Structure 1
Amino acid sequence: MADLNDVREHMEVIGADGAHVGTVDRVEEGRIKLTKKDSGAEVEGAEGAHAGHHHFIDGGLVAGVEGDKVRLSANADVAVAFETEESGDPV
């Protein structure tokens, strides 16, 4: 797992395959909070019903920070399946 202290607001979150997953709002409790506007809803396999509110990516999925991008250890479609909501429940 990469150091979440390197993750900054507005960084792009990408899967291991380079596909867009979301945009960082902030880091909270060891998870990356994605912006409401860009919470992975456009990634193939994401559920549209979950658009419009924050989704979270567990910090354990972060492989590294490369410039202004946060790269995950899983491909984007897999990472979206692991997103959680504010309560910690799966999306």
Structure 2
Amino acid sequence: MADLSNIREHMEVIGADGVHVGTVDRIEGDRIKLTKKDSGADIEGAAGKHSGHHHFIAGGLVAEVEGDTVRLSANADVAVAMEEEEGGEAA
């Protein structure tokens, strides 16, 4: 797991496959809180349950932080399937 302290607001979160997963709102504990506006928006089939509210990515999925990008160790579709909702339950 990469150092989460290097992650800043508005950084792009991408899967290992380079597909956009979301945009960082902030770090909460050991999770990345994604912005509401595009949380899962570019993932095929993600509309509906993955839009309009915050989702979280576990910090353990972060492979590296480079520039303004957070790259995950999982492909985008897998990362979205593993996202957590506001209360901590799986999305």
Indicate the TM-score class for this superposition, using the shorter chain for normalisation: over 0.9
What letter corresponds to residue 2 of structure 1 in structure 2? Answer: A
- Aligned equivalents of 2:45 and 2:72: distance in 1? 17
What letter corresponds to residue 54 of structure 2 in structure 1? Answer: H
Task: Please report the TM-score for the alignment, with normalisation by the length of structure 2.
Answer: 0.95
SS of 2:49's equivalent in the other structure is helix
Alignment of 1:5-84 (within 5 A): 5-84=5-84
- Aligned equivalents of 2:47 and 2:77: distance in 1? 11
Task: Please report the TM-score for the alignment, with normalisation by the length of structure 1.
Answer: 0.95
- Aligned equivalents of 1:79 and 1:47: distance in 2? 15
Gaps of 5+ in 1: none
Identical amino acids, percent of aligned pairs: 77
What letter corresponds to residue 4 of structure 1 in structure 2? Answer: L
TM-aligned CA deviation for residue 60 of structure 1: 0.3
Runs of 4+ more than 2 Å apart = none
What letter corresponds to residue 60 of structure 1 in structure 2? Answer: G
- Aligned equivalents of 2:41 and 2:52: distance in 1? 9
SS of 1:10's equivalent in the other structure is coil
CA contact (8 A) 1:22 1:38 kept: yes
